[in-house]
Structure 1
Amino acid sequence: MGSERRRLWTGTSPSGNPFALPRGPLGPLAGLLMARGNRRQNAEVLAHCEVSPEDDVLEVGHGPGVLLGLLAERARTVTGVDPSPQMVRMALRRNFAAVRAGRVRLRVGSAEHTGAPEASTDLVVSVNTVAMWPRLDPAVDELHRVLRPGGRLVLSWHLSPARFALAPEEREEVRGALARRFGSADTRDLRHGAVFVAQR
C-alpha cells in the first residue's frame, strides 16, 4: 500500500513537527538538533551566497542562529526572523556579541511577515524552511518586496534523508512560484541541499 502524498503550503503550519515551530519543553532540544544537523548545509549555502561586506542580509527561519553568525562575519548587517520565540532567544545567546555590536538584529517573524522595510535587503537566505511555510506565494511576494533591485533570494532544502527531500513536483512548485514573482529562477543540487535562486 503506497503512502499518501504530503500536502505542502496548505495555509496552515505543519502539525506535529517540532522543527517547524520549536516550543515548549522540546524546543531547546529541537534547536540543538538543528544546530548540529544543518551545520554543513549552512556552510554550503553561505559559500553559494557570495556575501559581500556591503550586503544587508535577512535570514528567514534562522532557528538556533548558526548561519546568522557565519553571515555576520561577512555582511554589513544581518537581520534574523523566526516564528519561534524560543529560537529567537537561542540565536540571541549564540550571537550575543554581534547583537551587542549592532551587526545582528533578531525578531519574531516569518517568510510571509518579515517586518522588514521595502527594498531594504541585498540578500534573503533561508535554509530548510520553505516546505514548512504555510503559504508559498505570499511568502515569495514578501521576500521579493524586501529585496533591493539586484538583490538575491537563496532558499535551500534537505536532499537527505530521502523522505525529507522535495519531490520533483514540489521542487517545480517552488521554482514556479519564484519565477512568477521574480521573472526567472534557478534550481540545482549542491552536496547537502537543493538550492533555489532568484534575483530581483
Structure 2
Amino acid sequence: MAERELWTGQPPGSNPFALPRGPLGRAAGWVLAVTNRAQNAEVLRAAGVAGCRRVLEVGHGPGVLVRMLAEVPGLSVTGVDPSPEMVAMARRRNAAAVRAGRVRLHRGTAADTGEPDAAFDLVLSVNTVAMWPYLDPGMAEFHRVLRPGGRAVITWHRFPESFRLTPEQLARVEEAMALRFGAARRRMLPGSVVFEAVKEARAVPGGSARAVQGA
C-alpha cells in the first residue's frame, strides 16, 4: 500500500531531507548542518530559552541546534528524529554533552516523541512541519509533552522560494496549532516563519484530527 501524501499534498519522498537514510542520508545531514546553521541560530534567539530548564527539539537533524541549546547554562536538552542516521550524527556532534547527561537523543516523530506528559518548558521544531503526514497529531503531541505554561515553537523556511509554504498552507499550520492550544501567533523572521503557542494551565479541548487532516 502506498504511503499517504503529506498534509501539504506532496508525496512522502518529495523532500530528500525529510528522512535521510544511508550514505546519501549522511551527505544530506552535512548539507543541513551547513545550510541551516544561520536559521537555527536565528530561531534560538527568537525562541527565548531564558527561564527554561528542559527543552525538546523535534526533528533535530544533524544536531546543530541541539549543540547550541546545550551551550546554554542549566539547560537539559532532548532531541528526537525519525532518521537513525541523523540521531547518530547528532550524537557524534554532541558527544561530550551526551556523556555529561545534558543531552539525550533518540528516534521519534512529531506525532510520537516517546517522551512523558508535561515534561518540557519548550518544544522546538525547525523546518520539519511541511514533512509531517498530518498536522493535528503533531500539535497534540507538542501540547501533551509541554508543562502548563510551556511554549511550542514551530518554524519553516522563508527562503529559498521553492521551499516556501503557500499562504493557505501557512494558515493551516496556524489553525492546527490554535486548535490544540486555544490560540497561536505567527511572526516573520528574516529567514523563518515562526508559529508559537503557550499551553495554558487549564487544558484546552483539542479538535479531532479529522478536522485538520480533511481541511
- CA distance in structure 2 between the aligned counterparts of 1:52 and 1:89, rounded to whole angstroms: 28
3-state SS of paired residue (1:110): coil
SS in 2 for 1:184: coil
**Structure 1 stretch displaced more, 92-101 or 68-77:** 68-77
Quote the sequence identity (%): 61
2:62 to 61, 64, 88: 64
State the AA in 1 paired with 2:38: R
Q: Which range moved further: 145-154 or 8-17?
A: 8-17
Following the alignment from structure 1 to structure 2, what is the Cα–Cα distance between the partners of residues 13 and 90? 26
**1:160 paired residue number:** 159
Matched-pair contact (CA < 8 Å) for 2:121–2:151: yes
Shift of 1:53: 5.7
In angstroms, what is the RMSD of aligned CA positions? Answer: 1.6
Paired positions, count = 194
Is 1:193 the counterpart of 2:210 in the alignment?
no
| Residues 11-26 of structure 1: pairs in structure 2 closer than 5 A | 14-26=12-24
Q: Distance in 2 between matches of 1:11 and 1:89?
A: 30
3-state SS, counterpart of residue 33 of structure 2: helix
Letter of the structure 1 residue corresponding to residue 133 of structure 2? P
Conserved in 2, the CA contact under 8 Å of 1:13 and 1:133?
Answer: no
**Does residue 126 of structure 2 align to residue 127 of structure 1?**
yes
Range that drifts further, 140-149 or 50-59:
50-59
Contact persistence 1:53–1:76 (CA under 8 A): no
Cα distance, 1:12 vs structure 2: 9.2
- Structure 1 residue runs without a partner (length 5+): 1-6
Cα displacement (A) at 1:17 = 2.5
Structure 2: how far apart are the matches of 1:53 and 1:69? 18
Q: Measure how far apart 1:52 and its partner are.
A: 2.6
How far is 1:16 from its partner?
Answer: 3.9
Normalization by structure 2: what TM-score? Answer: 0.87
* Secondary structure, counterpart of 2:163 in structure 1: coil
- TM (normalized to structure 1)? 0.93
Contact 1:126/1:156 (CA < 8 Å) preserved in 2? yes
- Residues 121-147 of structure 1, C-alpha deviation per residue, up to 9 Å, x if partnerless? 000001100000111101100110000
Given residue 69 of structure 2, which amino acid in structure 1 is its aligned partner?
A: L
8 Å contact kept, 2:8–2:169: no
- State how 1:132-151 maps to structure 2 within 5 Å: 132-151=131-150
Q: Kindly provide the CA deviation profile for residues 15-64 of structure 1, in whole angstroms up to 9, marking residues without a partner as x.
A: 14220000022011100010011011100100011113642000000000
2:27 alignment partner in structure 1: 29
